[in-house]
C-alpha cells in the first residue's frame, strides 16, 4: 500500500474554488464596501494558499516536479494577494502589492511561463489554457488598482470565472476519467 498519491485533482478543485471567489469578487457580486470583509477575504485566501502548499509538497512526494513548482507558485501568489487584502483592510500602512501593480504583472508573466513550460513538457492543453486564464486574471487585477478600475475589475472577474470553469472541469475529468482532458 505504498502507492504515491497525485494531489492534482484536489489541487485543481481548490484552484477552481478560489478562482470562482476571485471571479465573484472582481464582478463585485458581493461587494458591501465593508473593509472588515475585505480583511476576512484576505485571510481566507491565505488559508487556501496554505492548503495548496501542502498539495505542492504532496506532488513532490509523488514525483511530479511540474505540479510541485506550479502549486508552490499558486500558493505564493495567493499568500501575496491574501496578505495584501488583509493589510489593505486593516489600514496598517504601506502595502507593496497595492502600491505597485507591477507585482501583479510579474505574477501574470510567471503564469504564462508555466503555461509554455506545460505545453513543452506535454501537460494537457487545458492546463495551459487554465494558466493563461489565471495570467489574465492577475494582469487585470494589476490594471484594476487605481482610479477608474470598474472595467478592469469586471475583466479580472471574467478571467476568474473562466479559470474556475476550466479548473473544475479538469478536476472532474481527471478524477473520474469520464471527461476528456486534452
What integer pLDDT is reported at residue 180 of this predicted model?
93
What integer pLDDT is reported at residue 1 of this predicted model?
42
Q: What percent of the chain has pLDDT over 90?
A: 59
Q: Distance (Å, rounded) from C-alpha 107 to C-alpha 52?
A: 17
Q: What percent of the chain has pLDDT over 70?
A: 87
Mean pLDDT, residues 27-37: 70
C-alpha cell at 182: 486534452
Better pLDDT: 91 or 164: 164
**CA quadruple 54, 74, 98, 160: dihedral sign:** negative
Following DSSP, what letter does each residue of 102-128 receive, concatenated?
HHHHHHHHHHHHHHHHHHHHT--HHHH
What integer pLDDT is reported at residue 147 of this predicted model?
61
Question: How do the domains of the chain map onto residue ranges?
Answer: 8-176
Q: Distance (Å, rounded) from C-alpha 75 to C-alpha 94?
A: 23
Residues 116-152: tens digit of each pLDDT: 999 999 999 999 999 999 999 999 988 887 666 778 8
Residues 12-21: tens digit of each pLDDT: 999 999 999 9
Q: Distance (Å, rounded) from C-alpha 81 to C-alpha 31?
A: 17
Residues 87-116: tens digit of each pLDDT: 777 776 555 556 678 888 999 999 999 999
- On the CB side of 141, CA atoms within 13 Å amount to 31
Its pTM surpasses 0.85: yes
Inter-residue contact 18 to 48 (CB < 8 Å): yes
pLDDT at 38 over 80: no
Inter-residue contact 97 to 83 (CB < 8 Å): yes
C-alpha cell at 166: 476550466
Amino acid at each position: 500500500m505504498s502507492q504515491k498519491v497525485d494531489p492534482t485533482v484536489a489541487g485543481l478543485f481548490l484552484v477552481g474554488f478560489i478562482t470562482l471567489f476571485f471571479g465573484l469578487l472582481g464582478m463585485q457580486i458581493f461587494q458591501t464596501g465593508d473593509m472588515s470583509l475585505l480583511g476576512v477575504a484576505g485571510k481566507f485566501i491565505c488559508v487556501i494558499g496554505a492548503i495548496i502548499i501542502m498539495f505542492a509538497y504532496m506532488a513532490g512526494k509523488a514525483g511530479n516536479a511540474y505540479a510541485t513548482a506550479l502549486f508552490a507558485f499558486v500558493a505564493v501568489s495567493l499568500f501575496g494577494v491574501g496578505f495584501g487584502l488583509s493589510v489593505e483592510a486593516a489600514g496598517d500602512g504601506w502595502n507593496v502589492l497595492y502600491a505597485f501593480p507591477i507585482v501583479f504583472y510579474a505574477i501574470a508573466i510567471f503564469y504564462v511561463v508555466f503555461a509554455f513550460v506545460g505545453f513543452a513538457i506535454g501537460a494537457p492543453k487545458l492546463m495551459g489554457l487554465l494558466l493563461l486564464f489565471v495570467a489574465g486574471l492577475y494582469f487585470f487585477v494589476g490594471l484594476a488598482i487605481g482610479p477608474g478600475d470598474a472595467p478592469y475589475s469586471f475583466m479580472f472577474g471574467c478571467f476568474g470565472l473562466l479559470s474556475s470553469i476550466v479548473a473544475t472541469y479538469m478536476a472532474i475529468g481527471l478524477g473520474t476519467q469520464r471527461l476528456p482532458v486534452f
